[in-house]
Amino acid sequence: MGYSLGDTEMTKIRRSLLGLVLVALAAAQALGAASTTSNVTVSASVAATAKLSLSSSTVSFADADPDATPSITATEGAITITAKGKTSTGGTITLTVLAADDLKSGTDAIAITNVTWTSSGAGFVAGTMNKTSAQPVASWTNSGSRAGTQTYALANSWSYPIGSYTATATYTLTAP
């Protein structure tokens, strides 16, 4: 009669054979393995962009006695300005303001140069309103965001004719 293997011995043999098969498969894959690489190009487009925000679109001055109040501060107080821009490295972003005309009430006029402002915030400057050339309000180099305030004042005078005066001023933010 022949030798017969018990269950434990058969399990050991099966495990050994399975181990040998796995090692053989791993060796065969390593010998016949192939690999390849491929590149991807990552790109981003950044264009010159400008964004401007003003906390108020009105500036008004209340009537006052010129002797007691030689300079009238705007009723609204300080206007908060947020200016954001993207430009080339070393490029200068500028914010300017230009009045369309003098303050007018019918045919009467108050020279727009009687309107001035003070400013606070990095890059912001004080100035005088003008109707012929845009006046600087702020500037900075390179892309970025700036926030500041601008407080308007009107030089008060006994020589102004009575009336309700208006003028339009346009802010321009340039990011070349």
Write the CB contacts of 108 (distance below 8 Å, at least 6 apart in sequence): 161, 163, 165
Q: In which band, very low, low, confident or very high, does the pLDDT at 115 lie, cut at 50, 70 and 90?
A: very high
- Please state the domain extents for the chain: 49-174
* d(C-alpha 16, C-alpha 33), whole Å: 25
What does pLDDT average to over the chain? Answer: 91
Nearest to 98 by CA among 55, 132, 50: 132
CATH architecture of 49-174: Sandwich (2.60)
Is 70 exceeded by the pLDDT of residue 106? yes
Residue-wise pLDDT for 38-94, tens only, equals: 999 999 988 889 999 999 999 999 999 999 999 999 999 999 999 999 999 999 999
What value does the CA radius of gyration of the chain take, rounded to a whole number of Å?
38
pTM of the complete model beyond 0.85: no
* d(C-alpha 68, C-alpha 28), whole Å: 100
Q: In which band, very low, low, confident or very high, does the pLDDT at 7 lie, cut at 50, 70 and 90?
A: confident
**What is the average pLDDT across 92-106?**
97
